[in-house]
Structure 1
Protein backbone atom coordinates (compact mmCIF):
# COMPACT_ATOMS: atom_id res chain seq x y z
CA UNK A 1 0.00 0.00 0.00
CA UNK A 2 1.43 3.31 -1.07
CA UNK A 3 2.21 5.67 1.81
CA UNK A 4 0.64 9.11 1.45
CA UNK A 5 2.29 12.26 2.78
CA UNK A 6 0.72 15.25 4.45
CA UNK A 7 1.42 18.76 3.20
CA UNK A 8 3.55 19.45 6.27
CA UNK A 9 5.63 16.29 5.70
CA UNK A 10 6.12 17.22 2.06
CA UNK A 11 7.40 20.65 3.01
CA UNK A 12 9.87 19.09 5.44
CA UNK A 13 11.11 16.61 2.83
CA UNK A 14 11.56 19.34 0.23
CA UNK A 15 13.51 21.44 2.72
CA UNK A 16 15.79 18.52 3.66
CA UNK A 17 16.46 17.66 0.00
CA UNK A 18 17.37 21.30 -0.71
CA UNK A 19 19.74 21.33 2.30
CA UNK A 20 21.48 18.13 1.13
CA UNK A 21 21.76 19.43 -2.42
CA UNK A 22 23.32 22.69 -1.21
CA UNK A 23 25.74 20.73 0.98
CA UNK A 24 26.83 18.62 -2.00
CA UNK A 25 27.42 21.78 -4.01
CA UNK A 26 29.53 23.26 -1.21
CA UNK A 27 31.68 20.13 -0.84
CA UNK A 28 34.47 19.38 -3.29
CA UNK A 29 36.11 16.01 -3.82
CA UNK A 30 39.89 15.59 -3.66
CA UNK A 31 40.43 15.70 -7.43
CA UNK A 32 38.57 19.00 -7.69
CA UNK A 33 40.64 20.52 -4.87
CA UNK A 34 43.90 19.34 -6.50
CA UNK A 35 42.82 20.84 -9.82
CA UNK A 36 42.12 24.19 -8.13
CA UNK A 37 45.55 24.12 -6.45
CA UNK A 38 47.25 23.47 -9.80
CA UNK A 39 45.36 26.38 -11.37
CA UNK A 40 46.67 28.59 -8.53
CA UNK A 41 50.21 27.27 -9.07
CA UNK A 42 50.19 25.66 -5.59
CA UNK A 43 51.75 22.21 -4.90
CA UNK A 44 48.95 19.58 -4.63
CA UNK A 45 51.24 17.33 -2.55
CA UNK A 46 50.73 19.69 0.39
CA UNK A 47 46.97 19.07 0.35
CA UNK A 48 46.99 16.39 3.10
CA UNK A 49 49.05 18.53 5.47
CA UNK A 50 46.88 21.56 4.74
CA UNK A 51 43.73 19.55 5.52
CA UNK A 52 45.26 18.41 8.82
CA UNK A 53 46.09 22.02 9.72
CA UNK A 54 42.54 23.16 8.84
CA UNK A 55 41.01 20.41 10.98
CA UNK A 56 43.35 21.30 13.83
CA UNK A 57 42.40 24.99 13.64
CA UNK A 58 38.71 24.09 13.58
CA UNK A 59 39.19 21.88 16.65
CA UNK A 60 41.11 24.65 18.44
CA UNK A 61 38.38 27.15 17.59
CA UNK A 62 35.72 24.81 19.01
CA UNK A 63 37.79 24.24 22.15
CA UNK A 64 38.36 27.98 22.55
CA UNK A 65 34.63 28.67 22.22
CA UNK A 66 33.96 25.90 24.74
CA UNK A 67 36.50 27.37 27.17
CA UNK A 68 34.99 30.83 26.75
CA UNK A 69 31.57 29.39 27.53
CA UNK A 70 32.92 27.65 30.63
CA UNK A 71 34.68 30.85 31.76
CA UNK A 72 31.54 32.93 31.26
CA UNK A 73 29.52 30.36 33.20
CA UNK A 74 32.10 30.39 36.01
CA UNK A 75 32.15 34.18 36.21
CA UNK A 76 28.35 34.29 36.20
CA UNK A 77 28.18 31.73 39.00
CA UNK A 78 30.80 33.67 40.99
CA UNK A 79 28.91 36.95 40.56
CA UNK A 80 25.69 35.27 41.68
CA UNK A 81 27.47 33.75 44.69
CA UNK A 82 28.98 37.10 45.71
CA UNK A 83 25.64 38.86 45.25
CA UNK A 84 23.83 36.16 47.23
CA UNK A 85 26.41 36.29 50.04
CA UNK A 86 26.23 40.08 50.16
CA UNK A 87 22.43 39.97 50.30
CA UNK A 88 22.58 37.36 53.08
CA UNK A 89 24.85 39.51 55.25
CA UNK A 90 22.78 42.63 54.53
CA UNK A 91 19.64 40.80 55.64
CA UNK A 92 21.46 39.47 58.72
CA UNK A 93 22.67 42.96 59.64
CA UNK A 94 19.18 44.36 59.11
CA UNK A 95 17.73 41.64 61.36
CA UNK A 96 20.24 42.32 64.14
CA UNK A 97 19.66 46.08 63.88
CA UNK A 98 15.99 45.57 64.85
CA UNK A 99 16.74 43.66 68.07
CA UNK A 100 16.45 45.49 71.38
CA UNK A 101 16.59 44.54 75.06
CA UNK A 102 13.40 45.08 77.02
CA UNK A 103 14.64 43.68 80.35
CA UNK A 104 17.88 42.46 81.91
CA UNK A 105 18.99 41.46 85.39
CA UNK A 106 21.60 39.47 87.28
CA UNK A 107 20.47 36.49 89.35
CA UNK A 108 21.77 33.34 90.95
CA UNK A 109 21.89 30.15 88.85
CA UNK A 110 18.74 29.03 90.65
CA UNK A 111 16.59 31.96 89.65
CA UNK A 112 14.47 33.47 92.38
CA UNK A 113 13.48 36.53 90.38
CA UNK A 114 16.14 38.66 92.07
CA UNK A 115 18.35 41.35 90.56
CA UNK A 116 21.66 41.02 92.40
CA UNK A 117 23.63 44.15 93.16
CA UNK A 118 26.15 44.01 94.70
CA UNK A 119 27.59 40.60 93.80
CA UNK A 120 29.84 38.72 96.20
CA UNK A 121 33.21 37.43 95.09
CA UNK A 122 33.11 33.71 94.26
CA UNK A 123 29.40 33.83 93.40
CA UNK A 124 28.20 32.08 90.25
CA UNK A 125 25.75 34.43 88.60
CA UNK A 126 23.56 34.54 85.50
CA UNK A 127 22.88 37.53 83.27
CA UNK A 128 19.29 37.13 82.09
CA UNK A 129 18.13 39.15 79.06
CA UNK A 130 14.78 39.50 77.30
CA UNK A 131 15.10 40.39 73.61
CA UNK A 132 12.48 42.19 71.56
CA UNK A 133 12.09 41.69 67.76
CA UNK A 134 14.15 38.50 67.82
CA UNK A 135 14.25 36.84 64.36
CA UNK A 136 11.59 34.10 64.44
CA UNK A 137 12.65 30.91 62.68
CA UNK A 138 16.37 31.69 63.00
CA UNK A 139 19.14 31.39 65.56
CA UNK A 140 21.36 34.13 66.96
CA UNK A 141 25.07 34.10 67.72
CA UNK A 142 25.38 35.98 71.00
CA UNK A 143 28.34 37.09 73.09
CA UNK A 144 28.49 38.11 76.75
CA UNK A 145 31.54 40.09 77.89
CA UNK A 146 32.18 40.43 81.63
CA UNK A 147 34.20 43.62 82.16
CA UNK A 148 36.18 44.21 85.35
CA UNK A 149 36.79 47.53 87.15
CA UNK A 150 39.55 48.38 84.64
CA UNK A 151 37.21 47.81 81.70
CA UNK A 152 39.09 44.70 80.62
CA UNK A 153 37.26 41.56 79.53
CA UNK A 154 37.56 39.13 82.44
CA UNK A 155 35.44 36.43 80.77
CA UNK A 156 33.53 35.88 77.52
CA UNK A 157 30.57 33.61 76.75
CA UNK A 158 29.94 32.82 73.08
CA UNK A 159 26.93 30.74 72.16
CA UNK A 160 24.19 30.16 69.62
CA UNK A 161 20.57 30.29 70.69
CA UNK A 162 18.05 27.60 69.96
CA UNK A 163 15.74 28.16 67.00
CA UNK A 164 13.76 31.27 67.97
CA UNK A 165 10.00 30.71 68.05
CA UNK A 166 8.73 34.07 69.30
CA UNK A 167 9.85 37.71 68.79
CA UNK A 168 10.13 38.14 72.57
CA UNK A 169 12.96 35.79 73.50
CA UNK A 170 14.72 35.08 76.80
CA UNK A 171 18.41 34.26 76.82
CA UNK A 172 21.12 34.04 79.48
CA UNK A 173 24.85 33.64 80.12
CA UNK A 174 26.69 32.77 83.34
CA UNK A 175 29.96 33.55 85.08
CA UNK A 176 31.55 32.79 88.41
CA UNK A 177 33.20 35.87 89.90
CA UNK A 178 36.77 34.92 90.94
CA UNK A 179 37.58 35.04 94.64
CA UNK A 180 40.52 37.33 93.85
CA UNK A 181 38.46 39.65 91.63
CA UNK A 182 38.91 43.39 92.07
CA UNK A 183 36.18 45.07 94.05
CA UNK A 184 34.27 47.87 92.41
CA UNK A 185 32.13 48.67 89.39
CA UNK A 186 31.90 45.85 86.83
CA UNK A 187 29.77 45.58 83.68
CA UNK A 188 28.29 42.76 81.68
CA UNK A 189 27.57 43.35 77.97
CA UNK A 190 25.52 41.28 75.56
CA UNK A 191 26.28 41.49 71.84
CA UNK A 192 24.66 40.10 68.70
CA UNK A 193 27.33 39.85 66.02
CA UNK A 194 29.26 43.12 66.08
CA UNK A 195 26.42 45.07 67.68
CA UNK A 196 26.23 45.80 71.40
CA UNK A 197 22.65 45.26 72.57
CA UNK A 198 22.99 46.28 76.23
CA UNK A 199 25.45 46.86 79.04
CA UNK A 200 24.49 46.39 82.69
CA UNK A 201 26.66 47.73 85.54
CA UNK A 202 26.95 45.88 88.82
CA UNK A 203 29.07 46.10 91.95
CA UNK A 204 31.47 43.39 93.10
CA UNK A 205 32.25 43.26 96.82
Structure 2
Protein backbone atom coordinates (compact mmCIF):
# COMPACT_ATOMS: atom_id res chain seq x y z
CA UNK A 1 0.00 0.00 0.00
CA UNK A 2 1.41 3.34 -0.99
CA UNK A 3 2.23 5.52 1.99
CA UNK A 4 0.45 8.87 2.00
CA UNK A 5 2.08 12.03 3.30
CA UNK A 6 0.57 14.84 5.28
CA UNK A 7 0.96 18.42 4.15
CA UNK A 8 3.41 19.03 7.00
CA UNK A 9 5.55 16.00 6.03
CA UNK A 10 5.54 17.12 2.40
CA UNK A 11 6.74 20.57 3.41
CA UNK A 12 9.56 19.05 5.47
CA UNK A 13 10.63 16.75 2.62
CA UNK A 14 10.66 19.61 0.11
CA UNK A 15 12.83 21.66 2.48
CA UNK A 16 15.26 18.77 3.05
CA UNK A 17 15.58 18.03 -0.68
CA UNK A 18 16.31 21.70 -1.28
CA UNK A 19 19.06 21.71 1.36
CA UNK A 20 20.63 18.56 -0.11
CA UNK A 21 20.53 20.04 -3.60
CA UNK A 22 22.21 23.24 -2.38
CA UNK A 23 24.89 21.19 -0.64
CA UNK A 24 25.47 19.10 -3.77
CA UNK A 25 25.92 22.23 -5.84
CA UNK A 26 28.30 23.68 -3.28
CA UNK A 27 30.48 20.55 -3.22
CA UNK A 28 32.96 19.84 -6.01
CA UNK A 29 34.25 16.43 -6.97
CA UNK A 30 37.97 15.68 -7.21
CA UNK A 31 38.23 16.13 -10.98
CA UNK A 32 36.58 19.54 -10.80
CA UNK A 33 39.00 20.66 -8.08
CA UNK A 34 42.00 19.43 -10.09
CA UNK A 35 40.75 21.31 -13.13
CA UNK A 36 40.45 24.52 -11.10
CA UNK A 37 43.99 24.06 -9.76
CA UNK A 38 45.33 23.62 -13.28
CA UNK A 39 43.54 26.76 -14.41
CA UNK A 40 45.22 28.60 -11.53
CA UNK A 41 48.63 27.15 -12.49
CA UNK A 42 48.80 25.25 -9.18
CA UNK A 43 50.20 21.69 -8.96
CA UNK A 44 47.23 19.28 -8.72
CA UNK A 45 49.47 16.57 -7.15
CA UNK A 46 49.37 18.60 -3.92
CA UNK A 47 45.58 18.23 -3.73
CA UNK A 48 45.63 15.28 -1.29
CA UNK A 49 48.00 17.01 1.11
CA UNK A 50 45.99 20.23 0.89
CA UNK A 51 42.76 18.33 1.71
CA UNK A 52 44.44 16.73 4.76
CA UNK A 53 45.55 20.17 5.97
CA UNK A 54 42.05 21.60 5.49
CA UNK A 55 40.54 18.72 7.45
CA UNK A 56 43.08 19.22 10.22
CA UNK A 57 42.31 22.94 10.42
CA UNK A 58 38.58 22.23 10.53
CA UNK A 59 39.10 19.64 13.28
CA UNK A 60 41.30 22.09 15.19
CA UNK A 61 38.69 24.82 14.86
CA UNK A 62 36.01 22.48 16.22
CA UNK A 63 38.28 21.45 19.11
CA UNK A 64 39.08 25.08 19.95
CA UNK A 65 35.38 25.88 19.94
CA UNK A 66 34.72 22.97 22.31
CA UNK A 67 37.61 24.09 24.52
CA UNK A 68 36.24 27.62 24.66
CA UNK A 69 32.86 26.24 25.67
CA UNK A 70 34.45 24.13 28.39
CA UNK A 71 36.54 27.06 29.62
CA UNK A 72 33.50 29.36 29.77
CA UNK A 73 31.51 26.72 31.65
CA UNK A 74 34.41 26.15 34.08
CA UNK A 75 34.81 29.87 34.75
CA UNK A 76 31.06 30.24 35.31
CA UNK A 77 31.09 27.31 37.74
CA UNK A 78 34.10 28.76 39.59
CA UNK A 79 32.46 32.17 39.86
CA UNK A 80 29.29 30.53 41.20
CA UNK A 81 31.33 28.61 43.79
CA UNK A 82 33.22 31.73 44.89
CA UNK A 83 30.02 33.77 45.19
CA UNK A 84 28.27 30.93 47.02
CA UNK A 85 31.20 30.48 49.43
CA UNK A 86 31.38 34.21 50.10
CA UNK A 87 27.67 34.38 50.81
CA UNK A 88 27.92 31.35 53.12
CA UNK A 89 30.73 32.88 55.19
CA UNK A 90 29.03 36.27 55.26
CA UNK A 91 25.80 34.67 56.49
CA UNK A 92 27.74 32.55 58.99
CA UNK A 93 29.66 35.56 60.29
CA UNK A 94 26.44 37.55 60.64
CA UNK A 95 24.84 34.64 62.49
CA UNK A 96 27.74 34.35 64.95
CA UNK A 97 27.72 38.11 65.58
CA UNK A 98 24.16 37.89 66.90
CA UNK A 99 24.99 35.39 69.65
CA UNK A 100 24.85 36.77 73.18
CA UNK A 101 24.79 35.26 76.67
CA UNK A 102 21.75 35.76 78.85
CA UNK A 103 22.97 33.95 81.94
CA UNK A 104 26.18 32.42 83.31
CA UNK A 105 27.05 30.50 86.46
CA UNK A 106 30.08 28.87 88.02
CA UNK A 107 29.22 25.58 89.68
CA UNK A 108 30.81 22.36 90.73
CA UNK A 109 30.74 19.70 88.02
CA UNK A 110 27.86 18.19 90.00
CA UNK A 111 25.45 21.07 89.52
CA UNK A 112 23.26 21.86 92.50
CA UNK A 113 21.87 25.06 90.99
CA UNK A 114 24.41 27.27 92.73
CA UNK A 115 26.37 30.22 91.37
CA UNK A 116 29.70 30.04 93.17
CA UNK A 117 31.71 33.15 93.88
CA UNK A 118 34.62 31.19 95.37
CA UNK A 119 35.96 27.65 95.05
CA UNK A 120 38.69 25.66 96.72
CA UNK A 121 41.91 24.56 95.08
CA UNK A 122 41.58 21.08 93.58
CA UNK A 123 37.85 21.51 92.89
CA UNK A 124 36.31 20.30 89.60
CA UNK A 125 34.24 23.25 88.38
CA UNK A 126 32.02 24.08 85.42
CA UNK A 127 31.20 27.34 83.68
CA UNK A 128 27.58 27.15 82.53
CA UNK A 129 26.36 29.70 79.99
CA UNK A 130 22.95 30.22 78.39
CA UNK A 131 23.28 31.49 74.83
CA UNK A 132 20.72 33.62 73.03
CA UNK A 133 20.24 33.68 69.22
CA UNK A 134 22.19 30.45 68.82
CA UNK A 135 22.16 29.21 65.19
CA UNK A 136 19.47 26.52 65.01
CA UNK A 137 20.42 23.48 62.95
CA UNK A 138 24.17 24.08 63.34
CA UNK A 139 26.94 23.40 65.82
CA UNK A 140 29.09 26.03 67.49
CA UNK A 141 32.82 25.91 68.07
CA UNK A 142 33.39 27.47 71.49
CA UNK A 143 36.47 28.30 73.55
CA UNK A 144 36.81 28.76 77.31
CA UNK A 145 39.90 30.41 78.80
CA UNK A 146 40.69 30.10 82.49
CA UNK A 147 42.88 32.99 83.69
CA UNK A 148 44.77 32.95 86.99
CA UNK A 149 45.26 36.05 89.19
CA UNK A 150 48.20 37.19 87.03
CA UNK A 151 46.01 37.19 83.91
CA UNK A 152 47.76 34.17 82.43
CA UNK A 153 45.64 31.63 80.56
CA UNK A 154 46.40 28.41 82.44
CA UNK A 155 43.80 26.22 80.74
CA UNK A 156 41.76 26.34 77.53
CA UNK A 157 38.72 24.28 76.50
CA UNK A 158 37.91 24.04 72.79
CA UNK A 159 34.82 22.09 71.84
CA UNK A 160 31.87 21.82 69.47
CA UNK A 161 28.35 21.92 70.83
CA UNK A 162 25.76 19.35 69.92
CA UNK A 163 23.47 20.21 67.00
CA UNK A 164 21.54 23.26 68.22
CA UNK A 165 17.77 22.79 68.24
CA UNK A 166 16.61 26.03 69.87
CA UNK A 167 17.88 29.65 69.78
CA UNK A 168 18.22 29.63 73.58
CA UNK A 169 20.94 27.06 74.22
CA UNK A 170 22.74 25.91 77.38
CA UNK A 171 26.39 24.99 77.16
CA UNK A 172 29.27 24.48 79.56
CA UNK A 173 33.03 24.01 79.88
CA UNK A 174 34.89 22.37 82.75
CA UNK A 175 38.19 22.69 84.58
CA UNK A 176 39.83 20.62 87.28
CA UNK A 177 41.68 23.15 89.40
CA UNK A 178 45.12 21.86 90.41
CA UNK A 179 45.76 21.26 94.09
CA UNK A 180 48.48 23.92 93.89
CA UNK A 181 46.40 26.44 91.91
CA UNK A 182 47.22 30.07 92.65
CA UNK A 183 44.83 31.63 95.14
CA UNK A 184 43.12 34.91 94.42
CA UNK A 185 40.84 36.39 91.77
CA UNK A 186 40.42 34.24 88.63
CA UNK A 187 38.40 34.86 85.46
CA UNK A 188 36.77 32.41 83.06
CA UNK A 189 35.85 33.56 79.56
CA UNK A 190 33.66 31.95 76.89
CA UNK A 191 34.40 32.92 73.28
CA UNK A 192 32.82 32.43 69.86
CA UNK A 193 35.67 32.79 67.41
CA UNK A 194 37.73 35.71 68.72
CA UNK A 195 34.81 37.40 70.46
CA UNK A 196 34.22 37.05 74.20
CA UNK A 197 30.50 36.53 74.66
CA UNK A 198 30.61 36.19 78.46
CA UNK A 199 33.08 36.10 81.32
CA UNK A 200 32.85 35.70 85.06
CA UNK A 201 35.23 36.36 87.95
CA UNK A 202 35.62 33.93 90.86
CA UNK A 203 37.99 33.45 93.75
CA UNK A 204 40.16 30.45 94.43
CA UNK A 205 40.82 29.81 98.11
Q: Tell me the TM-score normalised to structure 2 length.
A: 0.95
Q: 2:146 and 2:159 mapped to 1: Cα distance?
A: 15
- Give 5+ residue unaligned stretches, structure 2: none
Of residues 129-138 and 145-154 in structure 1, the stretch that sits farther from structure 2 once superposed is 145-154
1:8-87 equivalences under 5 Å are: 8-87=8-87
> Post-superposition shift, 1:13?
0.3
- Give 5+ residue unaligned stretches, structure 1: none
Q: 1:151 and 1:30 mapped to 2: Cα distance?
A: 94
Would you say how many aligned residue pairs link Structure 1 and Structure 2?
205
2:103 is aligned with 1:103:
yes
Q: 1:67 and 1:195 mapped to 2: Cα distance?
A: 48
- CA deviations on 1:34-73 (whole Å, 9 max, x unpaired) are 1111111111111111111111111111111111111111
Of residues 79-88 and 191-200 in structure 1, the stretch that sits farther from structure 2 once superposed is 191-200
Q: Which residue of 1 aligns with 2:117?
A: 117
> Post-superposition shift, 1:185?
2.1
Q: Secondary structure at the match of 1:116?
A: coil
Q: 2:140 and 2:198 mapped to 1: Cα distance?
A: 15
Runs of at least 4 residues off by over 6 Å: none
2:143 is aligned with 1:143:
yes
Q: Secondary structure at the match of 2:89?
A: helix
Q: Secondary structure at the match of 2:118?
A: coil
Q: 1:50 and 1:152 mapped to 2: Cα distance?
A: 83
Q: 2:169 and 2:156 mapped to 1: Cα distance?
A: 21
CA RMSD, aligned part only? 1.2
Q: Secondary structure at the match of 1:24?
A: helix
2:6 is aligned with 1:6:
yes
Q: Secondary structure at the match of 1:159?
A: strand
Q: Secondary structure at the match of 1:111?
A: coil
